[in-house]
Amino acid sequence: MEIQVECEADHHGSEYGGHTICPRGLSSNAVVYSAGVGDDISFDLSLIQNYAAKVYAFDPTPQSFEWISTQRLPAEFHFYNWAISDRDGVAKLFPPRNRKHISHTLLPRNRPDRRPLEVKTRRVETVMKELGHDQVDVLKLDIEGSEYVVIADILSSNLRIEQMIVEFHNPVPQLGRSATKAAIQMLNQHGYRTFHISDSGKDYSFLRQ
């Protein structure tokens, strides 16, 4: 994988929870969707501080909601305990293998000692309609393996999303990196080009051309 288009790469947030965006055109009118925040919203707060962007964060994890409720947040930050998915309704949310970790997933995990939760799910298209947005300037997806089906759903819906920031999790071991390669090819076919790739090779930033 390689950089496909030149654009200033501007990192926002902590080393753990930060991501890289292209600042081109971002202002107080910018709409940011941040899917998967856990207990680190340094990326979201940085975009608010630097651009006065309006950030809409989504995370169905109970620990995330509890943590968010203890924070002093700016008016530009809006939180919804929905899981971003490729379907509207409800789904099972499976806990992490390590109890110290916060990240849950919609992908099945065999954990007989910990039962999955039932959470509300929303497609990005549905969220945009419910929130009254016809365009999203930055969409960040850090959703523990669900990014593959969500990307496919977004592209099939022809949504107007200017930047996509994706952390790929390679959820199916037997596929290796082929699922990620297929997702990137799909994004390329719909006009998205990479302008940044993290040193780890997991985080990709795409700009719509």
The per-residue pLDDT for range 106-115, each reduced to its tens digit, is 887 665 556 8
pTM above 0.85, yes or no: yes
124 inside domain: yes
Q: How far apart are CA 7 and CA 82, in angstroms?
A: 32
31 inside domain: yes
- Taking only the tens place, the pLDDT of each residue in 144-190 is 889 999 999 999 999 999 999 999 987 555 455 788 999 999 999 99
Residue 4: give the domain boundaries: 1-141
CA dihedral for 185, 190, 193, 197, sign (positive or negative): negative
Total tally of structural domains belonging to the chain: 1
39 inside domain: yes
- Contact of 201 with 178, CB cutoff 8 Å: no
165 inside domain: no
102 inside domain: yes
158 inside domain: no
198 inside domain: no
70 inside domain: yes
